[in-house]
Amino acid sequence: MSAIFERPSLWLRIKPVFTGFDVPLILAMLLLAGAGLVTMYSAGFDSGTRFVDHGRNMLLALGVVFIVAQVSPQTLMKAAVPLYTVGVALLIAVAVMGVTKKGATRWLNVGVVIQPSEVLKIAMPLMLAWWFQRREGQLRAPDFVIAALLLLVPVGLIVKQPDLGTAILVLSAGFYVIFFAGLSWKLTLPVLLVGAIGITAIVVSEDKICQPEVSWQPVLKDYQKNRVCTLLDPTTDPLGKGFHIIQGMIAIGSGGVHGKGFMKGTQTHLEFIPERTTDFIFAAYSEEFGLVGCIGLVLGFVFLIFRGLMIAAEAPTAFTRLLAGAITLSWFTYAFVNMGMVSGILPVVGVPLPFISYGGTAMVTLGLGLGILMSISKSRRLIQS
C-alpha cells in the first residue's frame, strides 16, 4: 500500500508568517503612528525632509517589527548573552576611542558612526530576563546582586560618556526586570524614600546649592547641575539655559483646552520652540491640539502599555514575562520623562517621545521592542492552539 502525500500549497507554507499578530497591539501602534505623522507634518514641514524621513523611519520600524515577530522567544533568549557582551564591548571601545561631539563621547566610528548605548536599551532587559530564567525556582539574594552588577556596568559606562538620558532608560529597563523577578519592597521602598528626601532637600536649598561657585562634582557635571537648577527656576536665565523650558511651557499653556488648530501653532512655526521635531515635539503637539489632544495622546500610550502588560501577564515562561514587562514599562519611562521635561517638572535630558519624535535610531529601537512583544504574543497563541 502506498501513501500519497500532497505538498502543501504556497499559502499554507507562508501563512504562519502573516498570521498570529496581536491585533490590539497593532491598533495601538497605528493610532500613535498616525498622531506622530500628523504632528511631524505640522512641526517639520519647513525643516527640509523631516516629515518624509519620519515616514521612512516608521516604515523601517514596521519592517523591523514584522521580521522580529518571526523570531521565536527561544532564539531571542539565545541572543541575550552575545548581544549584551557586544554592547558592553562597544561601550568600552567608546570610552577608549570614541567620537566626541559637543563635549560628549557617545559615538563610535566603525565605517559608519554608531551610538552603542542604543543597543543596551534592548540588550539589557534581554540579558537580565535570561539570567532570571536560568535561576527560576532557586532565586537567592546573590542572584539579585549579580543582576545589579550586570545592570550597573553598562549604565556606568553610559553615564561616563556622558549621556544621562540614555542611562536613565537603560537603568529603568533593567530595574523593571529585577523588580518583576521578585525584588522585595523592603529593598525598593528605602531607595524611593532616600530619593524623595534628596529631591526635597535640593528644592528647599536651591538658593544655596545653585550658586555658580558651588560644584556638584563628582556626582553631577556642571552642565547637569545647570539643568537641575534651571528646572527649579528657569527665569534665572530666560534667554539662555532656561529658554527651552520657558518656551515649552508657554506653548503648552497657550494651547488651552482645544488647541490652536492643526498648522496654527504660533510658538511652533515662529520657531520659539527649540528642537521642535525631536525632544520638544510634545510642546508643538500641545499647542495645536490642546488639553483634549494631550489626553487623547496619553490614552494612546496607556492603551499601548496596558496591552503590553497583558501580553507579559499571559506569557508562557519567566523569560518572556520579564522581557515583555520590562520593554512595556520602558515605553512608559520614555513618555513620562519626555512629557515631564517639556512640561517643566523634570530636567531636560534628551529623551524622545515614542512614535512622535524624529529619530531613526530611536524608531528602530522602538520597532525592536514591538517586534519582541509580537513574537511573545505569537508564541503564546501557538502554544494554545
Task: Check residue 385 and give its pLDDT.
Answer: 58
State pLDDT tens for residues 360-369. 888 999 999 9
Contact 246, 214 (CB under 8 A): no
Return the percent helix, strand and coil in the chain, to nearest 5: 70, 5, 25
Contact 282, 317 (CB under 8 A): no
- With a CB cutoff of 8 Å and minimum separation 6, the contacts of 111 are none
State pLDDT tens for residues 311-346. 999 998 999 999 999 999 999 999 999 999 888 888
Task: Quickly state the pLDDT bin for 105 (edges 50, 70, 90).
Answer: confident
Task: Check residue 2 and give its pLDDT.
Answer: 45
Task: Give the start-to-end residue ranges of the domains of the chain.
Answer: 21-384
Could you give the maximum distance between any two Cα atoms of the chain, in Å? 95
Task: Quickly state the pLDDT bin for 353 (edges 50, 70, 90).
Answer: very high
State pLDDT tens for residues 270-324. 888 888 888 899 999 999 999 999 999 999 999 999 999 999 999 989 999 999 9
Identify the residue whose cell numbers are 506653548. Answer: 251
Task: Check residue 368 and give its pLDDT.
Answer: 94
pLDDT, greater one: 339 or 8: 339
pLDDT at 1 over 50: no
Task: Quickly state the pLDDT bin for 245 (edges 50, 70, 90).
Answer: confident
Lowest mean pLDDT among 22-36, 118-132, 339-353: 339-353
pLDDT at 352 over 80: yes
Task: Quickly state the pLDDT bin for 10 (edges 50, 70, 90).
Answer: low
Helix axes 50-69, 23-44, angle to 10 degrees: 160
Q: How many CB atoms lie within 10 A of CB 209?
A: 16
Cα(119)–Cα(173) distance, integer angstroms:
12
Question: What share of the chain in percent tops pLDDT 90?
Answer: 53
Task: Check residue 13 and give its pLDDT.
Answer: 65
Task: Check residue 339 and give its pLDDT.
Answer: 94
Nearest residue to 312 via CA among 380, 368, 367, 364: 380
> Phi/psi zone of residue 182: left (φ > 0), alpha (ψ -120 to 50 degrees), beta?
left
Q: What is the mean pLDDT of residues 229-249?
A: 81
Q: What is the mean pLDDT of residues 75-102?
A: 92
Task: Check residue 204 and give its pLDDT.
Answer: 82
Mean pLDDT score of the chain: 88
- With a CB cutoff of 8 Å and minimum separation 6, the contacts of 369 are 122, 327, 330, 331
Task: Check residue 11 and give its pLDDT.
Answer: 63
Query: All 3 cell numbers of residue 31?
Result: 493610532
Task: Check residue 301 and give its pLDDT.
Answer: 96
Task: Quickly state the pLDDT bin for 187 (edges 50, 70, 90).
Answer: confident
pLDDT, greater one: 133 or 223: 133
C-alpha dihedral over 78, 157, 120, 308, to 10 degrees?
120
- Contacts from 45-52 at CB under 8 Å and sequence distance 24+? 45/263, 46/269, 47/277, 50/277, 50/358
pLDDT at 213 over 50: yes
Task: Check residue 382 and give its pLDDT.
Answer: 61
Cα(313)–Cα(291) distance, integer angstroms:
32
Q: What is the mean pLDDT of residues 154-170?
A: 90
Contact 318, 138 (CB under 8 A): no
Cα(98)–Cα(110) distance, integer angstroms:
10
